């Protein structure tokens, strides 16, 4: 902005695009966080299922 000529035109352009840019970037961040949370949930489900399978195997082969 400092080196833009004319300064007034650059300031007006910044005023026009600032809010849409902030909103779209916020939406992108929320989407990215949602994707990361979904991946974490899926990995937890896989880990829980594998633990369940391992416990079932030990129950079947348990010596009493």
Distances (CA, A) of 43 to 4, 27, 29, 46: 49, 25, 21, 5
Ordered per-residue pLDDT tens for the chain, 64 residues: 667 789 889 889 999 999 999 999 999 999 999 999 999 999 999 999 999 999 999 988 877 6
The total of structural domains in the chain comes to 1
- Per-residue confidence (pLDDT) for residue 5, from 0 to 100: 86
Q: Determine the pLDDT at residue 28.
A: 98
* Main-chain phi, psi angles of 13, to 5 degrees: -60, -45
| Model pLDDT, residue 64 | 65
Which residue segment(s) compose the domain that 39 sits in?
1-64
Contact indicator for 18, 1 with CB cutoff of 8 Å = no
Three-state DSSP class for residue 2: coil
Question: Could you give the CA distance from residue 30 to residue 27 in angstroms, rounded to a whole number?
Answer: 5
The single-letter DSSP state of residue 61 is T
């Amino acid at each position: 902005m400092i080196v833009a000529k004319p300064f007034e035109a650059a300031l007006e352009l910044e005023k026009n695009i600032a809010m849409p840019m902030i909103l779209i970037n916020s939406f992108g961040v929320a989407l990215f966080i949602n994707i990361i949370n979904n991946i974490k949930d899926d990995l937890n489900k896989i880990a829980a299922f594998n633990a369940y399978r391992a416990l079932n195997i030990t129950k079947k082969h348990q010596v009493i």
